[in-house]
A = this chain, B = another copy of it.
Amino acid sequence: MNASPETLEKAVVLLSGGIDSTTLLFDVSRRAQGVYALSFAYGQKHARELDLARRQARRAGAAEHRVIALDCFGTLTQGASALTDAALPVPDLARMSGAERARPPTYVPNRNMTLLALAAAYAESIGAADVFYGAQRQDAYGYWDCTPEFVRRLNSVLALNTAFPVTVHAPFAGMRKAEVVKIGLELGVAYAHTWSCYRGGETPCGTCPACVERRRAFEECGIDESVKETGPSA
């Protein structure tokens, strides 16, 4: 899993509050002298993931955790994603057509490059040479901005920085979600306090793509229902 350094000084971790980025947070915390976690409220329906991100950042002993208000992102991409637009329903995975799976309505236009650009700006400003990004292999979807090639090309842009080049690491980008969960279980990640459901209701819907992929990953690891997500107060 390591395309990233074994020991680190300051490291920035993009933390959504889901399974992958929370696992990465604990993995990097083991190796870095100072972890600077960064979360964004970009207009996502499931903003409750941010409360869980706060809890996980505390538990991981992050040197700092910032939750950044990026309201403008939802405004700029209005009408373009079921993840941010109240008028566009999040589909059930079982009802998604082949075309929808190839180009899912939950895709958010250029969100990942935007958040990584902000993370790199922050990293450069605090003198952190490494940014960690919890993308994992999306078996079922055509998310172009979760791939190793996306990260490689983004790094080729950042490598031009003559002032302070920052490198993005996505050590899970070639892994399936179940493989990420296995790593997290070894690290003692409390998955009950992570959030996946795209619909962001009081309890997870169980049928959206994120819920289904979460359940499958846990099933594959032989983990029972008790690691199903719970609210931040649990």
Residues of B within 8 A of A78 (CB): 125
Give the contacting residue for A160; candidates B149, B161, B162; CB below 8 A: B149
How many A residues, CB 8 Å from partner? 47
Q: Does A70 lie at the interface of the complex (its beta carbon under 8 Å from any beta carbon of B)? A: yes
Q: How far is the CA of A69 from the CA of B145 in the complex (A)?
A: 25
Interface residues of A in 68-121 (CB under 8 A from B): 68-73, 75-80, 102-103, 107-111, 113-114, 116-118, 120-121
Q: Does A124 lie at the interface of the complex (its beta carbon under 8 Å from any beta carbon of B)? A: yes
Interface residues of A in 143-178 (CB under 8 A from B): 144-145, 147, 149-150, 153-154, 156-158, 160-164, 166
Q: Does A142 lie at the interface of the complex (its beta carbon under 8 Å from any beta carbon of B)? A: yes
- Tell me if B80 and A124 are in contact (CB < 8 A): yes
Interface residues of A in 116-132 (CB under 8 A from B): 116-118, 120-122, 124-125
Give the contacting residue for A114; candidates B79, B109, B121, B149; CB below 8 A: B121
In the complex, what's the smallest C-beta–C-beta distance from A144 to chain B, in angstroms?
A: 5
In the complex, what's the smallest C-beta–C-beta distance from A224 to chain B, in angstroms?
A: 37
Given A125-B77, A157-B113, A157-B153, check contact A163 B103 (CB 8 Å): yes
Q: How far is the CA of A109 from the CA of B125 in the complex (A)?
A: 6
In the complex, what's the smallest C-beta–C-beta distance from A1 to chain B, in angstroms?
A: 23
Residues of B within 8 A of A121 (CB): 73, 76-77, 108-111, 113-114
Given A125-B80, A157-B113, check contact A69 B72 (CB 8 Å): yes
Residues of B within 8 A of A125 (CB): 76-80, 109
- Tell me if B162 and A109 are in contact (CB < 8 A): no
Residues of B within 8 A of A160 (CB): 144-145, 147, 149-150, 153
8 extra interface residue pairs, beta carbon distance < 8 Å, beyond A77-B124, A114-B118, A116-B117: A68-B75, A72-B118, A73-B121, A110-B117, A113-B158, A114-B117, A153-B157, A156-B156
Please list the 9 inter-chain residue pairs (A to B) with the smallest Cβ-Cβ separation, ordered nearest first: A110-B121, A80-B125, A109-B124, A114-B117, A76-B122, A77-B125, A153-B157, A113-B117, A117-B117
